[in-house]
Structures are given as C-alpha cells and as structure tokens.
A = this chain, B = another copy of it.
Amino acid sequence: MLQILFFFALLFTFSKNAAAIDFCVANLKRPAGPAGYPCITPTKVRTNDFVFTGLGVAGNTTNLIKAAVTPSFVAQFPGLNGLGLSIARLDLAPGGVVPMHTHPAASEILYVLHGKITAGFISSANSVYVKTLFKGDVMVFPQGLLHFQTNGGGKPASAVVSFNNPDPGLQILDFALFGNNLASSLVEQTTFLDDATVKKLKGILGGTG
C-alpha cells in the first residue's frame, strides 16, 4: 500500500509544479502585463482567495441617478486573475439608470435578481435591441457595444452581471465626453452637440476645457 502512496507522491511532485496552470491569484502590488498580474506564491493561496463577499447587499442608490454598481473585478477579487471571468452587482432605485456605456474588452450577461429592468444595446449595424426584463430573466450584451440599464418599474430593482474578462473595463459615455479635460471644441466637433449642451454637462460632470 505504501507503494501506491509512493507512486502518487511522485505524480504529485510534478503536479505541484503545475499549480500556476490551474489558477494565478493576482499579486496586485506587482506590475501587470498584457495577460494580467503576476501570481502570488502558490503555497500562499488560501480558500478566501477564491471567495468574494459583499455583493449580497444593495449599493447606495441615494444619488441623483439612483443607481449603484458594485464591482468584483480582479482589482477587488484577485483570485479571478487569468480565469477569464468577473462579476458585479447592479442596484437601481425607482427612476434609476446605468447610463450608456461600453466594456472595451468583455461581453456581459445580466441576471435580474428582482424588480423590472429595461435594458438595451445598439449594434455596429445600428440595430437597437431593447427589452424589459423581470426577475430571473437573462440578457446578453455583446463585447464593446453601447448599452444601458434602467429601472423600468416603481420599485427597487437589482441584477447580477458577469463578464468574460477578469477586468472588463468600463467606459461611461457621459463621463468620457464631459468628465475630463477633452476640449469642448473637440467634443462639439465629434458629437455635433452644441456648445451650451457640452458646457452644461461639463459643469455637472466635472469636465474642464
């Protein structure tokens, strides 16, 4: 019997070296590369590296847009590094909205936890796909396309969204146009919005220039 054990021990020896292939818990203190972060030492990996808590409670939606997004991406959940997946929670008070946005490097799948959510995306071919979703409904948003979610009902709504990338990125349209130092003249030239509109939204969103 000891011989079996010995045999397996041998196999085990070389599979030890393969630890990195199963997973690669991110060392967020080291510089990332194109494929993600360097792994922490395999022997220091703990069960909690594969567990994330905090998506069980609604985010704070007491803001004007009445919405909250709570991410669990690689920066919050280092165990996702290299595994090609991430997750987030979305809360929408009545009247709440997740503004038009894209994820430059991920498709998204949304599952409605409760409430009524109107969601949609626009394709490269400029077709519009909008649907009002209820508890348990699922909708998919293909990679890189403009999409949005709004609370379509009179009660709070929430959803879980997953991405096929540990770090899906997020580009919120209004923030990209009006929340930075991109010159108003360039915004106007490239969007056909008038100067007053651009200046007003820059004022609200903290943009300069």
**A interface with B by C-beta (< 8 Å):** 1, 3-8, 10-12, 14-24, 27, 30-42, 45, 47-48, 50-57, 62-65, 67-69, 71-77, 79-87, 89, 97-100, 102-105, 107-109, 111-113, 118, 120-131, 133-146, 148, 150, 160, 162-165, 167-177, 179-183, 186, 189-194, 197, 201, 203-206
A82 nearest in chain B by CB position: B34
Please, which residues of chain B bring their CB within 8 A of the CB of A85?
Answer: 107-109, 140, 162-164
Whether A33 and B33, one on each chain, are in contact in the complex, defined by CB atoms closer than 8 angstroms, is: yes
Docked complex Cα distance between A36 and B34 (Å): 6
Q: Can you name 20 extra interface pairs (CB under 8 A) apart from A18-B73, A87-B162? A: A7-B64, A7-B68, A12-B126, A14-B75, A15-B171, A22-B123, A31-B41, A50-B121, A50-B139, A54-B136, A56-B137, A89-B136, A98-B190, A102-B144, A109-B162, A120-B182, A122-B177, A126-B175, A126-B179, A143-B144
When all copies of this chain in the complex are counted, the total is 6
